[in-house]
Amino acid sequence: MTGRIPVCVHASDPILRTGLAAALRGQPGLLVVEQAAIDPEVVGVVAAEVMDEEVTAGLRRLHGRGCRRVVLVLSKVDSVDLPAAVDLGVCAVLRRAEAGAERLADVVGRAARGEAALPPEMLARLLKQVARMQRNLLSPHGAGFTGLSRREAEVLRLVSQGLETKDIAARLSYSERTVKNVLHDVTSRFHLKNRSHAVAYAMREGLI
């Protein structure tokens, strides 16, 4: 092991690809590898004018070969379909005008550590999409992004404090049957063995 971050550059424009690869080779801590060396440890750098069908197809091929961390370098970042890009492993987007050697190396390092990097306007757009999803899809059903409804989270939190079913029912003004149904729904949905297993799972996953 070299201790360096393996990175593979992809671009339909050979001059752009050669230039980015040369820039990254000059950065400490990075190791530029060929496409044949792609594995889950490799950070992919995909460069283009816009995120079009060709770029999407390239991302899909990378994803199929196990590349799970991709930095997208584009001239026009407003062309990015964020949900589609994230599904294909994109965790960072950088404007070509800002993709100097040091800046690109920094973003590659962040991607390797599992961190995200987005231009401010893209982050704002993503937050708006998340808020809209919460408002239109999840909230009407009493659910949140944790996968638990507020009621389920409340019940599990009280179970974790050692309260019995009747005490939880009294605390939340539910019937005992409702509390039992909530626990049954959670254990069934997440394929858990019992209430203790449900609490352990929820705490481990940061759901409560």
Q: What is the pTM of this model?
A: 0.62
Q: What is the pLDDT of residue 150?
A: 82
Residue 92 and residue 116 in contact, taking contact as beta carbons nearer than 8 Å: yes
Start-to-end Cα distance in the chain = 39
Q: Are strands 69-74 and 90-95 parallel, antiparallel or unpaired?
A: parallel
Per residue in 111-149, pLDDT tens? Answer: 999 888 888 777 776 666 656 655 665 556 555 555 678
Structural domain spans, the chain: 5-130, 142-203
Give residue-wise pLDDT tens across range 14-51.
999 999 999 999 999 999 999 888 889 999 999 999 99
Domain spanning 5-130: CATH superfamily: Response regulator (3.40.50.2300)
Topology (CATH) of 142-203: Arc Repressor Mutant, subunit A (1.10.10)
Which residues of the chain form beta strands (DSSP E)? 5-11, 30-32, 43-48, 69-74, 90-95
